[in-house]
Structure 1
Amino acid sequence: MKNYFSIIRICLSVFLIGSIVSCNEVKKSKVKEEVSEKEVSAKDILGNPEYQAMSYGGYRYADHSIEPTMEELKEDMKILHAMGVRMLRTYKLLKPQAANLVKVISDMKKEDPGFEMYVMLGAWVDCKNSFNSGNGEPIHNEENKENAAEIDRAVALANKYPDIVKVIAVGNEAMVKWAASYYVEPWIILKWVNHLQDLKKEGKLAKDLWITSSDNFASWGGGGEEYHVEDLNKLIKAVDFISMHTYPMHDTHYQPEFWLNGEGMDGKSDMEKIEISMLRAKEYAIMQYGNVKNYMESIGVNKPIHIGETGWASFSSGQYGADGSRACDEYKEALYYKHMRDWTNEAGMSCFYFEAFDEPWKGGDEPGNSEKHFGLFKVDGKAKYTLWPMVDKGAFEGLTRGGKPITKTFDGDREAMMKEVLVSPHN
């Protein structure tokens, strides 16, 4: 009889546990459905460390006319999703890559409800005769007639994929004066930002779609007084947030004071010198951010600032390499990436790190041009030193790029990688 009641109790226990587990599974399923159905806006994404941001270009060949295929874009999205990236930045719309990208993301979401990716859609803006393409020199106070088509396509894609396109950025480094072959005066950017903001007011764009321009820190008032013009002030008031670029790596050559400063280097080992130099690079970026923030507040504005672009090349045969500032290698790239993520995550800012993958078309014909080497992955899918820990953890297991599995650069030999690391010259 005792055995009989014991069996009954066991059966009841199993039944109750099964019911509880079943109820918990139902609850979890319901929560998942609620999360997937929840509308996520730019306000929810930007500044949220759970939505890591990345600048994306999928061009895999030196010939820029060869567009990434849909399958190649899908490969890249799987890799970036495995990294924890949830927000991408694109650059132009008269080429098909960006439109194809949002379609691929949309298709992947339908195939897998757990797949999540959003986009800051870039609309390229430049001046009349940009890149000497017209009948004369660039005219910076007149605009390229193709700008309107860029904006129209941005609007169309934002309306077609409102669940994916969360930000439109008008122009990329379009106001900074060192972009002598194409820059425009701020009133041109302001005109298009106001146009998009008006479409939101008229209900022709989603009201929670954020509008910005993505430009160098100097263009946002953080540099010389030549940028401090009334049209810039109006632009700062018109955008939903400031998307600011900062590149300490470039300034190891152009503004080398912070990089060449020998203070505090005496008696330090080579590795300590490198660590100090990279911390200075982080502080330099923070200073540029502070300059923009101070200017914004000086005109009575208080709105979010996010890092629209920053990065560090892993190789240079030119002025950032062995014969120049010695800034570029995979070890320094990894340190900079960590510093930028740590700073911006802690500060509640997004950082559209530049960039996910190397792009061979950039920087002309010289294979050692640093512009070709900003990716965290090489073109063939080899993960640079920054991402070696993720490879070790199996984050990219089963994923490929160009059909090749994701492996480490230098075959994972850290000693071989460190042999290419140079100590910066110090005064």
Structure 2
Amino acid sequence: MNRNEPLTIEPGKAICYSGFREGQSPDTGVYPTYEQIKEDLLILHDHWKYLRLYDCDEQTDLVLEVIRKEKLDFKVMLGAYIGAEMNNFGCPWGGSYSEEELIQNKERNQTQIYKLIKLANQYPEIIFSLSAGNEALVNWSDHYVPMESVIKYVRMIKAGAKQPVTFCENYAPWLDKLKALVDEVDFISIHTYPVWEYKNIHEAMEYTKQNYYSVADKYPHKPVVITEAGWATNSNGRGISSENVSQDLQEIYYNDLIGWSEKEEVLTFVFEAFDEPWKGSQEPMEPEKHWGLFTVDRKPKKVMRKIYTEL
């Protein structure tokens, strides 16, 4: 894609991918191997066209290497992970840092942006779009970054790479707080999670559509992509009622979401491919661990069983 031409992102099945398995996490620096990532991508490649990656880390290096070496037909939205550059005392799970930590984060953020640009230029046939960050401007973020920094990062990416640039954020801030950012990005990326907002399955798809159209109608001159939408399958009751999540409910929401997305030609990244036990608290039923369409041992959940009977 050339930024000087009209932005066209073809609709297609899209999914968020992170390959951390039991005993692996970005916090400990234990990453999936080449063969593990290859296994994952072979599971996904017949059914999804687009992958979303969140970070320019060692895992991302291997994902891009696997796609190129194994000649897999994926297009990647690549993001930079930007850490907190200021304290957010309103975050309920910890948004406070020392001044030294904030300075270090700013330095790491610059490094992330530079690596994002490098990878975009190294893999132009695979990486189709770039994100300057993820959920760093919403009021509950534990890695809050000032708007002026995000705008600076967007401009740096635009100056260094040819792919269209976005920023991935919950739908709500785009309606008011992020107006200045709208003019900077090539397209808007929103997240919509009805189950986090206490909606039941009967309300869920209508709520997702409301989230999408509230942003798309406000900025008719900008394309809008959904970069996260999904339904958890377990919960310890914190933030999400345990009665409101299950594999049956995930299947209903997924099918409704895909049906609507294909009909309306909205590029929608399902959250997410595989369960990730490293996320959230130590409790096994922590909902953050249970959004995958597949379990952490790569077995299909109910929503995927019809097309993955061999796994």
Q: Which residue pairs with 1:120 in the alignment?
A: 77
Kindly indicate whether the alpha-carbon contact (under 8 Å) linking 1:309 and 1:354 is maintained by their aligned counterparts in 2. Answer: yes
Shift of 1:43: 5.1
Q: How far apart in 2 are the matches of 1:42 and 1:362?
A: 38
Corresponding residue for residue 44 of structure 2: 80
Which among 172, 178, 187 is matched to residue 148 of structure 2? 187
Partner of 2:219: 296
Q: Equivalent of 1:215, from 169, 174, 185?
A: 169
**Which residue of 242, 261, 264 maps to 1:347?**
264
- 1:53/1:79 CA distance change after superposition, 3 Å: same
The 1:317–1:132 alpha-carbon spacing in structure 2 relative to 1, beyond 3 Å, is closer
Equivalents in 2 of 1:198, 1:375: separation in Å? Answer: 35
Q: Hey, what's the Cα distance between the residues in 2 that align with 1:374 and 1:325? A: 13
Write the distance in 2 (CA, Å) between the matches of 1:133 and 1:152: 26
Alignment match, 2:119:
157
**Residue equivalent to 2:18:** 57
Q: 2:137 aligns with which of 157, 172, 175?
A: 175
Greater per-residue helix proportion: 1
The correspondence for 1:391, drawn from 275, 299, 308, is 308
In the alignment, which residue of structure 2 is the partner of 1:104?
66
After TM superposition, give the deviation of residue 57 of structure 1 in Å.
0.5
Change (3 A) 1:309 1:137: farther
Deviations 1:125-171 (A, max 9, x none): 1333666685259879x972211100111111111111111111111
Q: How many Å separate the matches in 2 of 1:317 and 1:170?
A: 32
Q: Secondary structure at the match of 1:191?
A: helix
Q: Does 1:336 align with 2:259?
A: no
Aligned identity (percent) is 34
In the TM superposition, 1:286-325 aligns within 5 A as 286-297=209-220, 302-319=221-238, 324=241
C-alpha separation in 2, matches of 1:132 and 1:233: 24
- Among residues 224, 236, 246, which one is paired with 2:182 in the alignment? 236
Amino acid at match of 1:184: V
Q: 1:326 to 1:136 in 2, by over 3 A?
A: farther
Provide the TM-score with structure 2 as the length reference: 0.89
Write the distance in 1 (CA, Å) between the matches of 2:294 and 2:84: 33
CA shift in 2, pair 1:72/1:172, >3 Å:
same
Unaligned runs of 5+ in 2: 88-93
- What's the counterpart of residue 419 of structure 1? none
Task: Quote the Cα distance in structure 2 between the aligned partners of 1:184 and 1:150.
Answer: 14
Q: Secondary structure at the match of 1:389?
A: coil
- Aligned-CA RMSD value: 2.5
Counterpart of 1:249?
Answer: 195
**What is the Cα deviation at residue 382 of structure 1?**
1.3
Residue of structure 1 in register with 2:91 after alignment:
none
After superposition, what is the alpha-carbon deviation per residue over 1:204-234, rounded to whole angstroms, capped at 9, x for unaligned?
Answer: x33xx1110011101211xxx5x2xxxx333
- For 1:69-105, what per-residue CA distance to the aligned partner results, in whole angstroms no more than 9, with x for missing partners? 00000000100013x1111111112x31111110111
The residue aligned with 1:285 is 208
The whole-number CA distance in structure 2 between the counterparts of 1:42 and 1:101 is 29
Q: TM-score, normalized by length of structure 1?
A: 0.65
1:377 and 2:294 correspond: yes
Q: Which residue of 2 is the match for residue 400 of structure 1?
A: none
Q: Secondary structure at the match of 1:171?
A: strand
Deviation at 1:190, TM superposition (A): 1.1
Distance 1:138 1:284, change over 3 A: farther
Which secondary structure does the structure 2 equivalent of 1:124 belong to?
A: coil
Question: For structure 1, which runs of at least 5 residues remain unmatched after alignment?
Answer: 1-38, 110-114, 200-204, 253-258, 260-276, 398-405, 407-427
Over 3 Å counting, the alpha-carbon distance change for 1:185 and 1:218 in structure 2 is farther
Q: Report deviation, 1:278.
A: 2.1
* 2:189 partner letter: S
Whichever of the two has the greater Rg, that structure is 1
